[in-house]
Each structure stands twice: as structure tokens, then as C-alpha cells.
A and B are shown apart, each in its own frame.
Chain A
């Protein structure tokens, strides 16, 4: 069977790499090590994630006591029963990490956090608050791909962070760099239309694609002409812009050269998932298929997926399909029908885990190298605002799934790190520093520091050394 890697070697890189030169080759080529790239999926949710729901019910009494006291604890997941909402991941226990005890008090917390949970700074609605590229974009730089990064979102339509066009392309939760918000696809339909337009069989989509190409070709030629009689800094002032247009043209050509593999991996979605008016649950399912197609076809190695945010009005939740669930009300303990708020929370988390399971199983089915694509994948499921609805960031629970080749030594364990203020406490910044260091970015510390922590911890910078493989 021809694997995806084989295909890329024989087609995309064979045809495309010759077209690339200089920085472009560096940007778009696969890692030179010959190893498949790592993939990273950041799936975040709104309304907080209670640390209490992360705990395996089968923990011993002494371990439960430690967990309750927020003391350092580490147990093998294989020996334990998963919380019911996570039980769909039973088959993936060896890859699973339940990580407790990180904090994120340097982030904006409370209802909405914008780019905070991925950037580790206090982001808000002002673009000026975006201090640097979020961690997903930093990882995308380490594992270049034609599209670099894709962001999908079930946008909030309510609350203080609503998006006007929840099924369009809107400011997302990631950032490309300082003051540069990323843009996310708000529905499977718009994501499919944009991401897969180069291989679309739809005539209107083809025309749209041709028009875009035509304008880009025209403009690139126009701008390149401006630089002919310039030199030095004045040349750079027009050349960089013209070069950037050339970059996009090359990227498009690269995607066109991958059209066969992209076409083969087009998301297979029933019409209801591509409808303009679809339930939140269907939107999540549709996005998951888009995410898988984008990863498997090699268009990107990093996907960030907002499964919900506080202002997402939930529809289609199994068992209460007819209800329009206001997550903010759930945050304030309001019941929905006969279900208590915590039960609704559990149902929603259970759906999220079903999506994670789908991703893991599908990636495990794609051969790659001597194993599968999942071997080269890490999935992070976490809240965008910390431990609860009105969070303070004192806890930031994570569910992580790591493939065999992941470079963090955490798989198969429930890990409770020391609580905020205790010796050995770690922050979101430490965790992301670990990730970046492990994959080749030597940054000393990623993210802002927690100023209040300084009096307890002599040095809060650097990676979590015990997690380094």
C-alpha cells in the first residue's frame, strides 16, 4: 500500500520542491530529517473545565486525598478506570495523559480569554493585547506545511465575545504574531469551500479559485516590476511585498501539485454537515472531518479547534436535542429540563471526547512510516479559561493524547503537579516551553510570568524537565 509519505515523496515534493528556492524551500519542505512531521491538535472549550471531573474514580483513598489537597501525584492510567465522560478513550489509555495542576494566572481569565490560553498572556478584545504568536503557531513554524496552520471554530453567537458571522471566517483564538489575530473557519461549509477549493468539482468554486489566481498573478507581476530600478532599502520596500505574493503563488502551486492526495482525502460529509444552519454538534462533527482531511492530506500539521466558547448556544446535544443550551447559564448552575447544570456539562464533555476518539482512530488507520499517522500526533484538550466559569486561572486541566513518536514523556499517566504556590508548581508557560523545547525551539520560557507566583517560586521559567523524554 502506498502511504501518504510515499505519495508526498513521489509527487508533491518531486514536482513542487523544484519550484521552491531559498526561504520558500525552507518554509514548505518537509523536515529534512526524513521523519514524518509531528502534528498538533489544540482543542479548547469554553466555560471552564473542573479539575474534579478529571480524576479517575478508582484512585486509592490516599491518592484521592492527595488530589483533594492538590498535592503532587502521578499514577498509571492503565491501572485505573477513567471518568465516565472520558470512557470512550479506554482503548487509548496508553496514549492518554490527564494533566492537573497547571495554572494560568498570567492570562485573562473569567468568561472570555481571547488568545490567552494559547499565548500565555492577558489578551483581550484589543489587538494591541496580542503580545506574540500563540504556541500553536510556534509549533507550526517547526513543522512547516503549505497552509502552516488551520483554525476551526464553533463560534460564540452570544455573550461578551460574540462573532457576528458565526458561520463565516472570523477572528479566532490563535495569533500569528504580535497584534495579528488568526482567522478561523466558523462552519464546515466555509472551511471546505476555502480549504479544498483547488480541487472542487463545483463550477462556481472553480471560477472563484481561478479569479483569485488571476488577481494574484497580475498583482505579483505588477509589484515585481516596481523593483527593477531600485536598490538597497528602497528595493526591499517593494521586493518583500512582491516576494510575498510569489510565496502565495508557490503555495498554491504546491497545493495544486498535491491535488490528487487532497482530492482523495476530501471530507466525506453528508449534506446536513455542510448546511448553513446546523446544530452545534453537527458543526463539531463536520469540523472534525475537515481537521482530519487537512492533516491527512498534508495541507497542514497544526489545527486549532474551538469546540465551543462561553457564548456558543448549544444545540443538538444527545438526549436534549431540542434544547438551545446557553453555556453561560450552565456556568451559573442553571438546569436544562430535568438535567442539572453539571449533567449538561458532562454530556457536552462526553461529546468532545467522542470527537477526540474519532480523530485518534482515524489517524491510527493512516499508515505512515513504520507505523501510523497517530504515532506522530499530539492532541490537547483544555479549557480556554481555566478551572471554571468565573475562573481565576489557578488550575488549567489538560487531556493529552500522544502518539508513539511524541517527545514528551507523559503518556499513560494521571499527573497532578503541585498546586499554585507550592514548590515545584508549573504554569501554562512551563508546559508550552516544554513542548517547544522538545520539538526544537530552544526558547528559555514561553509566555508571560505570573507575578503573584514570584514570592513562592524562585524561578518560574523554563520547561517541565520531568516531561522531557
Chain B
């Protein structure tokens, strides 16, 4: 009876705090009967989680004796299990809805008492994105009016930079001018960091904190100094070519309102200060100051001028406006009279920012700002007009996809590509470090000055995404199934073809000459031809010497293949990872030729690569979903479950120390199965939702290479030590098994066993649920939050727009940005 006593303690402890819980019928009843909770726990829980049995190493009979933190964590898990009806298991006796609610209310009261997050709090977080029942969401039966809660949403790192640019940018000047190297804003540190995860990263749930403030204090000083620099030069404080920091030569015009204060030989009148305050509000907060704000700021500015003079006094006001939290938030409160459902439409001004930040990183363009100012942003048609216009605009949002991660391509709408980056999570490839030797030496980890091999692979995955976005047909299906990819491709198709033709002409002209034994003579005879391509007769590690070039051509053109459009010895050349696509090694990059070189560069891209289908077989995705040394079937499976099947997998229980055991005779799959497979019932409960979806990807190793056999990398299995410094050791191998089970599409024609990743991907791509799951993630990206049941009509409309447009992603964006969920606040 020990466990019963423990439960009593726990329940009594809760009751002693005066907890009341809501009864099933909605009326409040005191839980004056601890035996009710005791009885429920005894009936439904303790049989498996008690003294005699403690499945999953969880015991609920000892709650009262646990350390407070552990107890709250455990109760949080209990609440989740109850909320999602995951416990008791299907094959056990189930509590009635009333009993379940009683238990839930008890757990909730206990959590709230300690200010621990309850399920309502958690449902706002990305991990709980799929918590709302998928079938219900798309059933069409939910007719509630959609809205987004009133909110402050922290600006993204990119929007922050856009706002800084707008402080200095003359009207009409392009944004990306300020983002080119060298960095214009030397003294501005971006205070925002989005979390690394596969899935939507920017949710409207993060608050500002002390770290943001510390960074902003420094940045505000720099910005304010630059805002007044020109006027100080005019005043004669220093010359225009004087820079305290020689690496920071950024200059910008000083606003006339500020200049008039700084250049005023006496203390300025209030009018001048009010004009200056309004100017700074306009530049920084993009609005006018209210009367109350003006009064406060005027007092501050006046007292600072009294203390330190016009220039420094004025600058304190500039700093103070820059430190307003509004500079770092997007405000979405709604305006006007609420409708019958209590919702308010975004004000035209709020709408203009919401639309602009949904489609890009910059503040509204002049046409959008004008529409807002003229009150032409009130209806769905107004929203549609602006969204369609901006999606068609190739220039306004143009920029690098995300330079914070790698040297990425410039596209017309970086943010659209960023959605797919976040959805698939392939940029996380830069975070997974690899042992270079295990790749055979071709794989470079990110390091100084470069995001190296994973950075290049990410860029190539981006190109696949950008291609299908541009074509805008069956976008989801093509991203999942297209067998066309990009490799290297540093010249566009036309330029690449031209260069190869010219190189080939050189090879044909010289192949029968004495280039090997008498290069001077050949050079003398064909100098004009060679000079065009900077082929010289000199020396140097990176020099295009005649012998080096001709040897390279002999091993490529000479074998009927095409060389890559950059010579392997070029300074900084990092294009040498073709093996990640299971293509032959790039000739010459190791410094020598030989063996069975048969790399054949495809100048015209994209091109077909065998044994691959879509982003889920792209090396960037496979590496991002791998560990340092192994594939990661659990994580790959979880990705499918959560991102494509709209399913949920609970977090690893806190009592589980998840480790895959070493075993020299087993493949990694076998080792994973030995601890999480069907024989491990407690683990299998969750792993059945991941492993069978991840195993089909065992066709690819942790570098993304296609394989049929897996080396058993254990000293016991060593066949031969590596010969070269960066070569790989050679181990015994074992065939990989890629059988899996697709379950959860809701379509009996699709669910069932699969032989490998390619078959599974084909089935996924035709699934309605998969399409809808991607729509749900798109919603989260554009709305900055998880969907609620009341968003049902928004999601159904977006899905319909996709289907009816033949798979246009732009149609989905337009649908979402003209939805009630986007337009209304409550």
C-alpha cells in the first residue's frame, strides 16, 4: 500500500493550497474528495506506473516525494498525455470524458500553482504546431470566425536591418545597396537570432530581454552618431574625410530638422525641437509622435541640451527613440469598431506592414504606404491587389536568401525561399560537423571565411527550391519528387556552354602538340589563344600553366567527359564534393589524376541524378538530419511525421537517456532497432511513429551518399587503415535494409509497407494530408503562430487555392494574406 499513501500525500498537498477544479458539467466543485483523484490514478495509471510496474521508468505513485522541478516536469508530461489522449493506451481501460477532465483539471491546478507552463501555454509553441486535430481542421465543419490574437511580434533579423536601413536610406534608393560588402553598418549588431530548427523559426511569442537591450544600447549610439555626422562636419567640428575608425567610413545625410538644431548657435526654440523629435519618430518608428510623447521627449531633449549643448543634447533624444521597444516589434492591435465576433480589422497602416513583412524584409514600398495613407487597405480586394502586385515585383525585395548562414544566391523574393528553407530544415547542415576523413577527404566543415561543403550544398538545395517557386506549378509535388538537381553551377547555362566550347577548342588545337615536353614552344605558337583564358607559361600554386591545363583537359575532354568550369587548382576553389551526390570525384581536386576518373560535368543544369528524388534526398537535407557519425533514422522519420503527416511525437521522456548502443556486428538501423524497436514496448509507443518513416532513408549515409552497404565502423571490423592523410579507413560492410512503413496519410491506398525512400516519397507526394500539412506550415510562417481551430476556413481556402491553381505557391500566399486570420485581430 506504499504507493497509495504517496498518492494521498500528493493530492492532499494540492488540496491544501485551496485548489478548486472545474467539474465535468462545467460547474465549479471543490475537490474536497482526494479519494476521487486517488481513485482515478489507481484505476487508470498506477497499474503500469507504480511500485510493481513502472513502464517507461515513470512512476506516479511517488509524485509527492519528487524534487519540485522533476515533479512539475512529470506532471507537464501527464497533462500532455491526457490532453492528446495518449494515455491510457488504446488497449487499456479508458477514463470517461468526465474523469479525464477531472484528472486534467487537477494536473493543471497543480502546474498553475507553481507557475509551470500548462498545455495552453505550450500550444503556442512550435513543438505543438500539430496539436490541433488535422481532420477536424480540414473537415469544413468549423465555421468560427478566424482571427489572430492582438500582439507584438518581434521583428526578424532581416526586418531589423531593413528598419536600420530606412533610417539612412534616401527615398527610392535600393535596400541591398546597404547590405553589400563591406558592411555599411559597422557599429550595428543585430540583436535577433532565430532558433535553429527544422520548422518555422519566427513565431510571435518571443519577448525582448536584457540581451537585446545590451546590443541595442551600442547600436543606438552608433546610429545616432552617424545621423548627425554630416551636420557636425558642416559645423566645423572635424573634416569630412576624418574618420575615427578608418574601417567605418559610412556617411549619410543629416536630416534637416537635426541639422537646424546642431547648427543653431543658441539654444533652439521648442518648435525646432518638436520638428526634430517628429523627424526621428518618422525615421525610426515610421509614425508621428503623439502629444503625450512629444511632451515627454521635449522635456528630455531640453534638459539634455541644457547639460551638454545642442549637438549632444539632440543626440540623446535620437538614442532614446532608437531604444523604444516599438522599434523592435511589429505592432498588430487592430483598429476601429469590433465586429459581431469581437474582431477588429488591422488598421491600414498595420496592414501595410503586415503585408510587406510577410513578403519580404523591408518596410512598405511607396505604393503600399500610399494605399495605407489613403485608406485603401480595408478589404480583401485591397489586400489582394497589393499582395499580387508585390509578388510580381522582381526588384523591391530582391536580395540574398540568408547571408547569415551561407553565401546564398540573390533572388527576387528571398523570404519565399526562406519558408522552404525553414520547412525542410536543410540549412542545419552547417551545424553538423563531420570527421573529414570519413568522407575520404572531400568534405570540408565550415571554418574561417566559409561555410564550406555544407554551405555549398545548401546553396544548391536553394536553387532547386527557387526553380520550382519560379515555375510555380505543382510546387510541393515537384519539391518532393523532382530528380533534377544542381551541382557547382557557378556559371549560368549559356556562359558555361560557351566556356566549355572554348576550352575544348584549346584542347583540340593543342592535344597533338609537344605541350608536355616543350610547353614553351607551344605557348609561343598559340599564345593568343591561351592568353584569353589566362593560360600562361609561369609558375605558382594557382597558376593556369599550360602543362597543368592540358593535363586536366586530357583527363576530361580526352576521356570524352566535360570538365567543371573552374580549374581545380583555382584559389579558394571548394567545388569538390560531387561524391555527396554519389557522383564520381571531381578530377584534379586532390592534386593528381588517375584511377577510374569519369566525372562528367553537366554544364546545363538542373540535371538528373540517379537514385534521388526531391529535397528529401538532397545531401543538404540528409546531412542536416544526420549526426556527426551516423544517419539519423529517428530524426528523419520524425521530420516526415511532423512536417508531412501533421502528426505529433511526444518529446523524449525525461527519464530516458537516449543512446544507441555500440555493436560491431550490427548496422546502425539494427542498433537503433535493438533499443527502440517493437520488442521495446515502452519505446516503441513513440518510435513506431518515427522509425518506420526514417528507415527508408538508410539508402543514404550521413554525408548524403547513396549506398547499398554500410561500413561497420568499428576497430574490430577494420580491413585496411587509411593510406593518405585524409583518406578513410576501410571496414567490413553489411547490406543496408531500407524497408519501412508509411502510416498516417489517412489514405489506405498510400499507407503500407515501402521498400525505400524513393517509393515512400512518391506516395507522400500524392497524399492530400501531406499537401495540407505543408499548407499548415505555410500558415505558421506567414501568420507567425500555430493554427487554431478557428483558422479552419483559412486553411481550407489556402488548400483549395493551391489545388485549383495547379499547385501555385503564390496562390497559397495570396489566399493566406487575404484571409480573416491575417486581417483580423481580437
Contact = CB atoms under 8 A, between A and B. Distances in A.
From A127, A214, A219, name the one whose CB has the most chain B CB atoms within 10 angstroms: A219
A127 to B, nearest CB: 8
Contacts of B729: 455
Contacts of A168: 244-245
B628 interface: yes
B657 to A, nearest CB: 11
Interface string A208-233: 10110011001100110010000001
Contact of A207 (B217, B245, B308, B446): B308
A247 interface: yes
B753 to A, nearest CB: 35
Interface string B311-341: 0110010011001110001000000000000
A353 B278 CA distance: 56
B2 interface: no
From A233, A248, A448, A452, name the one whose CB has the most chain B CB atoms within 10 angstroms: A233
Contact of A129 (B434, B435, B446): B446
B245 A233 contact: no
Interface stretch (A54-62, A118-126, A277-285): A118-126
A233 B207 contact: yes
B447 A240 contact: no
B3 interface: no
Contact of A164 (B208, B245, B320): B245
B294 interface: no
A163 interface: yes
Contacts of B209: 240-241, 244
Contact of B304 (A122, A214, A238): A214
B749 to A, nearest CB: 43
B238 interface: no
Nearest to A170: B245
B208 A234 contact: no
A307 B324 CA distance: 38
A110 B207 CA distance: 39
Interface of A, secondary structure class, is helix
Given A214-B300, A233-B207, A238-B152, A448 B307 contact: no
Contacts, number: 142
B433 A237 contact: no
A237 B784 CA distance: 15
B211 A215 contact: no
A454 B435 contact: yes
Contacts of A160: 448-449
Contact of A222 (B189, B296, B445): B296
A223 B293 CA distance: 12
A241 B325 CA distance: 7
Given A178-B193, A237-B152, A211 B308 contact: yes
A202 to B, nearest CB: 14
B628 A183 contact: no
From A127, A168, A239, A451, name the one whose CB has the most chain B CB atoms within 10 angstroms: A451
B449 A219 contact: no
Contact of A122 (B154, B246, B324, B445): B445
B212 interface: yes
B98 interface: no
B329 A164 contact: no
B291 to A, nearest CB: 15
Interface residues of A, number: 57
A410 B273 CA distance: 64
Contacts of B307: 207, 210-211, 214
Contact of A226 (B210, B215, B320, B325): B325
A248 B629 CA distance: 45
Interface in A412-461: 448-449, 451-452, 454-455
Interface string B193-222: 100000000000101111111110110000
Given A214-B304, A451-B628, A177 B435 contact: no
B405 interface: yes
Contacts of A125: 448-449
B578 interface: no
Interface in B158-217: 186, 189-190, 193, 205, 207-215, 217
Contact of A112 (B212, B313, B434, B448): B448
B316 to A, nearest CB: 5
B404 A126 contact: yes
Contacts of B435: 451-452, 454
A165 interface: yes
B124 interface: yes
Contact of B447 (A122, A237, A248): A122
B208 A240 contact: yes
B629 A164 contact: no
B213 A165 contact: no
A110 B246 contact: no
A242 B190 CA distance: 19
A449 B445 CA distance: 14
Contact of B319 (A106, A163, A215): A215
A237 B208 contact: yes
A366 to B, nearest CB: 30
Contacts of A241: 207-209, 212-213, 325
A183 B536 CA distance: 47
B528 to A, nearest CB: 38
Contact of A238 (B208, B245, B433, B448): B208
Contacts of B447: 108, 122, 124
A180 B151 contact: no
Contacts of B247: 162-165
Contacts of A126: 404, 451
Contacts of B316: 211, 214-215
A242 B207 CA distance: 11
B320 A219 contact: yes
A210 B445 CA distance: 49
A92 interface: no
Contacts of B304: 211, 214-215
From B213, B303, B307, B435, name the one whose CB has the most chain A CB atoms within 10 angstroms: B213
Contact of B300 (A162, A218, A233, A448): A218
Nearest to B297: A218
B274 interface: no
Contact of B325 (A169, A207, A238, A247): A238
B358 to A, nearest CB: 20
A329 interface: no
A165 B244 contact: yes
Contact of B449 (A124, A243, A454, A455): A124
Nearest to B190: A127
B589 interface: no
Contacts of B218: 169, 183
A448 B715 CA distance: 23
A338 interface: no
Given A125-B449, A233-B205, A448 B433 contact: yes
Contact of B446 (A124, A176, A242, A455): A124
B208 A248 contact: no
Interface in A137-176: 160, 162-165, 168-169, 176
Contact of B210 (A122, A127, A215, A244): A244
Given A211-B304, A215-B316, A219-B320, A180 B208 contact: no
Contacts of A169: 218
The 9 closest A-B pairs by CB, nearest first: A164-B247, A244-B210, A165-B245, A241-B208, A451-B435, A244-B213, A237-B207, A236-B207, A240-B209
25 contacts: A122-B433, A122-B445, A127-B189, A128-B404, A128-B405, A164-B246, A165-B244, A165-B248, A207-B312, A214-B316, A215-B316, A218-B300, A218-B320, A223-B325, A234-B150, A238-B207, A239-B207, A241-B212, A243-B210, A244-B208, A244-B210, A244-B214, A449-B628, A451-B433, A451-B435
Given A215-B300, A234-B152, A244-B214, 18 more contacts: A106-B433, A112-B448, A122-B446, A124-B447, A124-B449, A160-B448, A180-B215, A211-B312, A211-B313, A214-B300, A215-B304, A219-B324, A237-B207, A241-B209, A241-B325, A244-B213, A248-B213, A452-B437
